[in-house]
Structure 1
Amino acid sequence: MNIPPRLRAHWRTLAGAAVGAVLGAAYAHFIGCRTGTCPLTGNVWTAAGFFGFTGAIVGLPGPRKPGGQPEQPAS
């Protein structure tokens, strides 16, 4: 399976967005506002979008170390 380098570099961001969207939709469906007046949890699609965006932000890769080598754990 040949994965494009751009997708390979951002797999954590995509996974965070997917997990956030699923959890947000589940929260809005099972726990969210029943009257529909809450702007975030009143609609499943809005909650999925917001939580998916939040999950993508959490999954963003951090700054890279100079030289491109990952830090080795201390022994």
Structure 2
Amino acid sequence: MWYERCNRISDKRLDVITNIAFSLVTNFDIVFGPRIRHFTERYTAVAVETIYLDTSYEETSDPSRNMPSGS
């Protein structure tokens, strides 16, 4: 599950993001039923990873790691 992947990274910001994402998945599940659960989990995982990478982007001490891939 996506939240198991997120829990491997120990970071306070990611904990907050994960909690928000988990509540979104739970609310979607209540409103739309279990048929949409896989869809919301899959795309929430992508969103959480993207937010985490975006928020940690500027904090990287190695300048070469801040370079976008392909440039």
Indicate the structure whose relative CO is greater, using CA pairs within 8 Å and at least 6 residues apart.
1
Q: TM-score, normalised by structure 1?
A: 0.40
Q: TM-score, normalised by structure 2?
A: 0.41
